[in-house]
Structure 1
């Protein structure tokens, strides 16, 4: 049976989910609880913070892009060897995509219904008192099958403020598990795609320790643990469930450093479980792909912040080009940009990239691209044969200045059915796009 779990959700983004989640993880670990963590949705930054707080790999549970069998398998794997799973939600509790995917709308509520895990709702009570109870009452009755088992108040201004909110909350019958004070120092540094990566956050261990002490002082972790319930998912065959996306080779060279850190944990873990060997290398350290690999993968990340260093890394660029002459190279988002001809940084400086593809991208001409994607392969490529449909997610500010004559890789459709046309590029054994693949083939 999977270990018990609980979901940390909120009425809206910015309510304090991450603060409570990290503090709770740190507090429980300090008490000797073997706690694991999961993140709802396609976020590739929060799982890194979860891993730092728990000492265990984080995992994404994506109710839009992942089919039910994959979700169930990941729920089981997330809790393997743990006493408890704490799952951080995404956006507001009921917020999801404009159209359904293989697993649902992608909302935190979808995961709550799939797993049966109870929800602890974090409510930012700035500017309100008794109205917070009305909000919680509405959320509790909005969708049958989603159980709000407790509330944590965030940004409480004073003891009197807390007392007023709790007085009104008592009428809902939903217990208040604690109240966090207003404290701007609790915030983690951010950049254009969200939080600065865990690997780059100075003093992270100390910050997590402070969050753990704060939550232990203002929220009773024991009461949260007592609310948790075992996941009501199909466990049969979970261990044998195949990889979310087929391995790109038997020995896969994977770029890994602060410029190429956005590889989904479930993707890499699935490849290992399928028998593939992962060989990591750092483009920023001017390392080429290992010569004994039979495929290379450049995940997303922040190449736009390190374009000068990548342009100066001649050994990496030459080695990648030599590798691509005989073996497939696949890139996602930042990895795709680094495989192109040039990358223009925020200051307008144009840097030469690896040149495996002709695409030219710009971070100076910023425009947000965000949303789930259906992606149908237009030719055979590392993720699958031509015609395969995969699910993925796009989140970046870069603009394609010129495709460079590359043949498109995918025919792409948004979650709401909007035809986005051909995207990505392929040239010889090199292929990539801005889409972060989550699962597939689908259907």
Structure 2
């Protein structure tokens, strides 16, 4: 009986082997879960990028109609080129004359209206700018390239994609557009206006230059204020401030502010800068001040971490050689901590570049059709521009929204890459 029990009882080695097998199986499952999580993240990212690029790539090309235009003084109602007559001239009339030359068979009022609607509403403005730049064109006949209406552009692009979108054009318009495509008068060219124009109510004329410069001016204000203030606060808290209830209270609140939703900073900016100081709305200066408040906690925390990473022996050696405390900080600690400080500042600026909620609270959601020239001019920023276009009903704004997202992502990736490069370039090891 005893021999039978001893034969069935596993040995210690067998128990250890079984335990190791379970641990290996558990570790393998955990590793596979991690790999699956990474794969899901990569797939989701690829789907997102594919959708954005697929929707937005069309915005970088625009349909133009190549035609001959005569700057006829009688049609324009001009006798000379000056500011007053340019403002009152009938440039739409010479666009219509050019279209009628392409389709002389069009006679009826309705047919003419459909023909005229092929060209963009802003085609006349381009001709006005051409004449203003070169007054000698008055009375001359020249070849021009004019924007077409957004519905026509959408049809042309969908036609090339193999899925024609004909909901917004009539049968007569479709035939004329097809004829223009066959003759080569209607072509898809690179859309330079997307990068050189400000916002517009007409999708084919809308561009991102105004929003880009607004973002640039806002970030200039943010960077010029948040970085020196954040570094100075970090130096004081790490090198000068003594541990007390007050400094502990300040540290806790700095950490808490870093986790506060950005819309709260927008409400703070609304209360202080707009309501109390009566500063104008939709101005990069105000937007920069609000984003400075938002990025300060991030910069202070990263700067303090960088200062703490400097070995105490560096400080002791500097002080031992007779340097004052200020000399020790400025000449020894700061140069060694600067890579971490710059990394935190760039990451904070990248976060500020993508913010929308705080800027909506201070009125930077206004429609701005002019390119800003400074920090006090009315402006919007790229995330808010994306928000406005995404809310527009026109189908052509869909691709411009995705294209603007692509530009914003390119800026964010560039800023984060710069932070990594600076970190590796300036980092010192002890």
TM-score by length of 1: 0.20
**Higher share in helix:** 2
Question: TM-score, normalization: structure 2?
Answer: 0.20
Kindly name which structure, 1 or 2, has the bigger radius of gyration based on alpha carbons: 2
Q: Which has the higher contact order (CA 8 A, sep 6+)?
A: 2
